[in-house]
Every structure is written in C-alpha cells, then in structure tokens.
A and B are shown apart, each in its own frame.
Chain A
Amino acid sequence: MASRIVKSPSVQATAKRQFAAQAVATTERELVKAEPLKVSTLSNGLTVASLENHSPVSTIGVVIKAGSRNETYETAGVSHALRVASGLSTKRNTSFAICKNVQQVGGAISCTQGREHTLYAVQTTRDVADVGIEFLTDSVSNSMYKPWEVSATLPRLKLELATRTPATQALEMLHQAAFRSGLGNGLYCPSHMVGSHSTASLSQFTAKHFTAGRAALLGVGISHSALTKYAELLKLESGSGPSNVATKFTAAELRQETPGGMAYVALGAQTAGAVNVAEAMSNLLLQRILGSGPSVKYGVGSGLLSAAAASAGGNAAASGICQMYSDAGLVGALVVSEASCAGKAVSAVVSALRSVSVTDEQVAGAKNRLLADVYSVMENPLEMVEDMGVQLLVSGDVMPVEKYPEIIKAISTADVQAAAKKLAGSKLAMASVGNLSSVPYLDAL
C-alpha cells in the first residue's frame, strides 16, 4: 500500500520538482564581470593597456608600429626575416632557455605581423604570467640575432614562402600593384632577398623602429597594476621613430602565371584609411554586402558578388575584400575560378562592382554580420590583443567593446550607399595568379 502511494503521480511529480529545485539551487553561481579596459602611458612613452576579464589564462603582448611598410628597397623582406627570427638568443638567455622555460610553465610565445605592426605575444596561466612576461620582454628588447641562429631560420622562411596559398599571393600582389612601396611591400620576403638578411640589417631595423613611442604593452587576463610593474622589464629606447611616407594609389596590374587549372584574381579600389572611422565602418559593411564567404559549411555564400560569379557558369566564387591601414585602404573583390570560365567571372564581378547599390535589408544584415565578426575576435584573446594593439598604434585609443553596437547602429544606409557609389566610380588595381588563359587585362575591363 505504501509503495502504491509512492508510485502515484502526485507524489512522484512533487518529489521530482523538489529534487530539481535543489539541483538548481546548488549550481547557481555569480559570474564575475570583466573590468573595463584601462589605458595608461608611462614616462618613457610606452602605452600600457589591460583588460582584466578574470580569465584563467593571461595573454600579454608587445605590439610595435613596425611592419613591412617600413622596409626600404635595400631591406626588402627584413620584416619577414624578423618574424621567423623571433625567440632567438638574447643577451641574457639562449633560445633553448627561452623555449624550455616557457614550455615548462605551459606557455607559448608567438610573433604575428601585419603591414604596419608586429606583435609578440605570450599566453600562460595566470599564476605563471611573470615567467612568460620575463621571456617575452627579453625577447623583444634584447635579441642578438646571432648569425648562425639567423641562418638556421632560413628553412622556416622558405617553408612559409612555399606554403602561401594562391589567394594570399594574389592579395600580396594587389597591394604591390596598388601601392608599390610602403604598403605595397609584401608580408613575405621576395625570393631574391631570401638569405640576405644579416645580423646587422635585423639589428638596424629593430634599433630604428622598436622604440617606446611606437610600442604598446597589452594584457588580457591580468590586472593593470601588475602589467605596469612588468612594463619596466621592457627596455626600449624612448622616441617615436621615423614617420611613415604618405601612401599613393595607382590603378595598376600585376600578373603571375603558375601551373594548374585555377585562376585567382584580386581587384581593389582605394579608400580612406582607418582613421576615418565612419568611412571605414561603411566599407566594412559594404564588404559584407558584397560577400564575405559562406556562413554555412560547404555553402555558396550570399553576397552580390557570388551571384555575379555564379552567373558566369562553371565553378567560380567571389567575395569582397576590405583592408584597412592607417592612411589608406583597399576595398574590392577576390575571384577564384576555374581557368576556363575565369574571364567571364572576372568581367561579371567587375560590372557588379561598378554598379553596386545597397538596400536597407542588406545593410541591416551586414550590420549583424559585422557585429558577429567583432564578437568572434573578442572570443580569442590573442586576436583581441592584436586588435587592441593596432587600435592603440593607429588612433591612440581603444574602442571599448560595449560601444561597438551603437557605433554600428549609427551608420545609415545612406553612408553605405555613398561608399558603394565611391567604389562604383573608382579605378581598380588588379592582381592575377594562376592559369590566366582567359583572364582579361585591366585595360580591357
């Protein structure tokens, strides 16, 4: 009889509800809110920025305003050589010591480069962040670039050159065609300069550009006071180094025939740089309207340009490109196609670029995609550190993440339409890589 009562639905339901409530009560906990971003400048000109998000992993980065843009004709490729030479012996530690000590605490040091910045970053757990920062700052300020160690990095340099995708090559060549020197310098060492970077040229490049006025120490997952204390370990000369030469755009063309059955064509028009925030944001939205790749795996992508490329028949895909630098930018398209229909695809994409126009719905969709992309960057602390660093170096200030939705909302369809109209009327630079049997020349487009 007792068992019949226990099995009755009313008793069972009550018991289940009470057990469930108990379970919820024990697992409820309070989320610790991330602290706001803190930025300060030290007496020697070094900027320190930190975001304490109470993460168990600390990501510390030193970002320096030096990249391929700062190369000259004689020093072409030195930034790539510098990138593969990160982690070599310093005045105080051998490269073996740096590697082993950082490995021992479970950390990782990396070097990432853009055309205008170089980022050295270390990721460790919070409790051993001091070890990571010690070797990171040592690596940045005291590297000796010993000749036998630099020549031991050559195989890595050659591997990076050999494993470039054709799309990357097309984008590099687009920059070269459009900007020639400065921003036109590639992120990869030109083949005639491989092996010609000595201790002297590397040391001269770092001595000239690694100064406190062009550097920032960034941290995610570390307190501002701790980071400011560690900033003393970073021994950089004070000063702000040489200023950049102004960028000039030329609507020129570069072609490179390679074996295979595919053609990769990059097209770009000049825009204002990242300092013009409103125009930069409009161009980023325009890129998403033109198409920024498929959002569904194995999908086709839903941009204006994918429709144009598909109209050419055969296997062709196109997406928008938008590269922002401090004083100039490129907005345009990247077309990847089978060799036979490449010509039709490129012509269709160019006519789409020259007649681009946007609707409210497209702009709304693009705003959502842009916000999602921004939040994806915030998910990855390394990318967040790089983003903070680039913002600091370019504009001297970091935009807090909370402001992004309102900034994006503030852009009107008219702004994006103006950017689209500007693109439609601009001269294009072009770079083609691959089997170019059917790809037209720029003056025929």
Chain B
Amino acid sequence: MVHLTDAEKGLVNGLWGKINVDEVGGETLGRLLVVYPWTQRFFDSFGNLSSAAAIMDNPKVKAHGKKVLNSFSDGLKHLDDLKGTFAQLSELHCDKLHVDPENFRLLGNVLVVVLGHHLRAEFTPQAQAAFQKVVAGVANALAHKYH
C-alpha cells in the first residue's frame, strides 16, 4: 500500500491534471527504449527502433505509451488499493508477457524524469518525492502476482 500524506495526494493529482497523459505516455515509453535499449526486447513487432528519432516518432511506441500511461492514470484513482487495481495486469505481465519487474522500476523513473521535463520548476523536490512513492507502489503492485 502506498502511504501518501494529504499534501502529497494534492501534489500528485494537481500536477497530473496539468499534463497531456497520452503525450507523456508516448514520450515516457520512447525514452525508456532510447535510454535502456535492452528494453526493446519486448517490442520486436514495433518496426523501426533503429535510432532515437525513429523511436520517438514511431506510431506504435506512441500508441503503446498512451495505453500504458492511461492504465497508470487509473492507478492514481486507487492509491489505497494498487495491488487490487493491478492484479490482472500483474498476472498478464508475468504469465503472458514475461516482463522482468525491474522494467517497471525503470519505466517509473523515466516517467519521473519526463514529468520534470514537462513541469519544470513546478516539479519540486517535494512533488518528485510524492511521485517516487507512487511509481514504486505501481511497480510493486505489478510485480505482486509474479510467481
């Protein structure tokens, strides 16, 4: 369970309302694939991932990033029960997708960097700390059903 203070919840929800979730999703997944190229192993069917520009412009990367971040958005509405909210996705990532949970931590941290990039000075150290708790909680929830 994620323990956020009321102030932290306010920070998280307030800042989340200011971003374009679809766009941030595409950028986050793109940067994950650029910065940690071994994560491309899950996306052989995505076409051209041959350069940073190709990755960031790739329509399948953008579409998938949008999907992932909208799912994360749902999680933000259920911070008191992330494990329940992500139970099915956890099973999917283990049993069908075979994704090492370390990748959830990598993606969470790339999201934090992208939020800093978009929100600039508004992404204060306090705001970042609140989001670090959220991304850790989501990563743990997604890893929870692994066996």
A and B found bound together: no
Point out residues on B near A: beta carbons under 8 Å. none
